[in-house]
Structure 1
Amino acid sequence: MAIELELKLMVQSEYLKSASDFLDEICTLSNTDGQSRQPTLALMNAYFDTEDASLMKAGMALRIRSVNSERYIQTVKTRGSSRIGMHARGEWEWFLTKDQLDLSLLTEVPLPEPLQDMSWANALIEVYRTDFERQVWNIVTQETKMEVVCDRGLVTSPYGKDAICELELELKSGNEAGLYDFALNIAEHVPVQVSVVSKAQKGTRLKYGKIKFPKKPLNTSNELELAAYWYEVWLVYWEAMYFMKDEALMQPVRHSMSQLTLCLPSELAYLLECLDNELEQCLVEDESMLLGLLASMTSVGTVMLRVGKWLNRQAF
């Protein structure tokens, strides 16, 4: 088993080439050993569950991945722990000889209690799939080795489709703060925003049509827990605004930012207040242009990343 720790950045399609060019330039100009552009991959992931979503409810994802239509990999991911804007989860992988699940391999996985009797095994169906192109860069900074990928494609299911357009920074070794530092370097040049919505969540969202929010902490006197909560609410509403193409969600976006401001040290609170002033100015523009205008702002991503870095440093 491996623990996968990654930072995901959403990026609108019109800025994807700028992100790719920026990463290419970093590798071209670098003399650092191990820093390089890797071959582009064509990936297909088929996700399986029961009709009543037994695996999803138990916090597990099961998929088969096809790489360039040549190799097949079976993967199990568990929900893992919350990392405040990052994704941390258990992951098991096995190479397969064909495009067919091998459930005997799951004996290596500590299955959640509701799934341990394997009664669900004969009821599995393919519930959604993802097809996307993946560009890959190996990046080495002073204390961190990471894999940075740029994914573009679609999530499809019987219930509809959703776009995949994102960057992922996965920690390979070293200091996880390096993920935030490098992401900030990207965000200062290309408009990106932090995302907490995985491809698997995009697939299940197509069926259930629900936006998943974090649970509000029971201990509301703990400012760090409240800050983490309002930070993730902010990220969820921001992504939902683009998924639903609904400018009206700017109101809860700004509300979550204002609540977060109350829980932050003065320097970060000031950055958030300045960003809110920028957002308020955007609201006087033509409503039909609002989402495009917001997506072009590098300040959104940089503030999200600075707050996320601080929160993770306090919590872990």
Structure 2
Amino acid sequence: MATELELKLMLHSDYLKSASDFLDEICALSDTDDQSRQPTLALMNAYFDTENADLMQGGMALRIRAVNNTFIQTVKTRGSDRIGMHARGEWEWFIPNDHLDLSLLAEVPLPDVLQDMSWSRELIEVYRTDFERQVWNVRFQATTMEVVCDHGFVISPYGKDAICELELELKEGNEAGLYQFALQLAERVPVQVSIVSKAQRGVRLKYGQIEFPNKPLQTANTIVLAAYWYEVWLVYWEAMHFMEDEALMQPFRHSISQLKAYLPNDLVEVVNDLDRQLESCLMVEEVMMLTKLASIKQIGIAMLKIGQWLNQQTA
């Protein structure tokens, strides 16, 4: 079992080449394997669950990945809560074909509600992800990471959702290096922090629901309240683009204004600068608003700076 800690960044497809060029340039600064571009992969992933989404509700994802006729069965479980990041338990096994081997799950500490394995008799393939993955090994300061760029689709009987994202996975060092490298990238390419996994995208296609964090009591400490409004902000950003609904701009900005009340002065200035840029988007025709928003670098820079600060407070 490995614990996977990654920072996921969303970007518009118009900026894929810019992101790839930036990462190629970083790797060109070194001729060692710890900083180099790896072969591009074509990945197919089949995700399994019950009709009632018992695995998803229990906090587990089960998939088979096919890479060049090699099959890998993977289980991921929810790990510790990391603000704006993904921390999960992960188990992988090579298997001979594209059929699940559920006996391998004996190695996994399943969530309590799934331990009786009764759900295993009702498993179906609920969706697939098909995408191209570009891969870079990057060493930044004292942090070693794998950076991947995924471009493709989540496909299910309920529709299709585009995948266009970067994932920075920590291999050695600490998460501060991930954030610092991501900020360097965000100065060059408009990216935004994403907290929606590919598995959640597949579930979202079926239910059409946007999952918000649980609201804490108003008497909670300021860091808890800041973390809540930060994640609401990220959820509204993803929802606005998934639903292609410019009307969500209002709650998107409202969540930022609520968050501002709990931030230190330097980050308040970052948010104020962002809000001025968002105000200018209201003058753009609605049909162009989402494209305009996706081009604003300050959105991702603010998300990353605030996310890094929040994680420092809760470390």
Change (3 A) 1:221 1:166: same
| Match of residue 9 from structure 1 | 9
Write the distance in 2 (CA, Å) between the matches of 1:34 and 1:290.
40
| Whole-Å separation in 2 of the counterparts to 1:21 and 1:135 | 12
**2:144–2:170 contact (8 Å) kept in structure 1:** yes
Structure 1 residues 287-306: aligned runs within 5 Å: 287-306=286-305
Q: Where does residue 149 of structure 2 map in the other structure?
A: 150
Partner of 1:248: 247
Shift of 1:173: 0.9
Deviation sequence 1:116-150 (CA, Å, 0-9, x none)? 11111111000001000000000001110000000
Q: Deviations over 1:33-69 (max 9, x none)?
A: 610000000111100011111111111110001113x
Calculate the aligned-residue CA RMSD, in Å: 1.0
Matches within 5 A, 1:45-64: 45-64=45-64
User: Partner of 1:39 in structure 2?
Assistant: 39
- Equivalent position amino acid for 2:298 in 1: S
What residue ranges of structure 1 are gaps of 5+ in the alignment? none
CA distance in 2 between counterparts of 1:220 and 1:249 reads 28
After superposition, give the CA deviation of every residue in 1:8-28 in whole Å (9 maximum; x if it has no partner): 000001111110111011111
The two structures have a TM-score, normalised by structure 1, of 0.98
Matches within 5 A, 1:188-199: 188-199=187-198
- Name 1:138's counterpart in structure 2: 137
What displacement does 1:112 show? 1.2
The answer to whether the aligner puts 1:79 opposite 2:67 as a matched pair is: no
Partner Cα separation in structure 1 for residue 224 and residue 218 of structure 2 = 8
Alpha-carbon distance in 1 for matches of 2:94, 2:55: 21
The separation in 1 between residues aligned to 2:103 and 2:214, in whole angstroms, is: 35
Q: Which residue of 2 aligns with 1:25?
A: 25
Q: Which amino acid aligns with 1:60?
A: M
CA contact (8 A) 1:5 1:87 kept: yes
8 Å CA contact 2:253, 2:275 repeated in 1 = yes
Q: Which moved more, 1:217-226 or 1:82-91?
A: 217-226
Structure 2 unaligned blocks of 5 or more: none
Q: What is the TM-score with the length of structure 2 in the denominator?
A: 0.98
* Aligned counterparts of 2:219 and 2:88: Cα–Cα separation in 1: 26
- Tell me, yes or no, if the aligned pair for 1:45 and 1:129 is still in contact at 8 Å: yes
- Per-residue CA shift, 1:84-143, capped at 9, x if unaligned? 100001111111111110000000001111211111111100000100000000000111
Q: Percent identity?
A: 72
The residue that corresponds to 1:269 in the other structure is 268
Shift of 1:31: 5.1
- The AA in structure 1 aligned to 2:38 is Q
How far apart are 1:219 and its partner, in Å? 5.6
Give per-residue Cα distances to partners, 1:148-207, cap 9 Å, x unaligned.
000000000000010000000000011111000000011000011000000000000000
1:113-192 to 2 correspondences below 5 Å = 113-192=112-191
- Deviations along 1:249-280, one digit per CA (max 9) or x if unpaired, are 11011000000000000100111011011101
State the SS of the aligned residue for 1:224: helix
> Structure 1 pair 267/56, CA: closer, same or farther in 2 (3 Å)?
same
How far does residue 30 in structure 1 lie from its aligned partner after superposition?
A: 2.9
Q: Report the Cα distance in structure 2 between the residues aligned to 1:111 and 1:32, rounded to whole angstroms.
A: 39
SS at match of 1:81: coil
Kept in 1, the 8 Å contact 2:33–2:137? The answer is no
Which whole-Å CA distance do the structure 1 matches of 2:33 and 2:60 have between them?
37
Counterpart secondary structure, 1:7:
strand
Count of matched residue pairs:
315
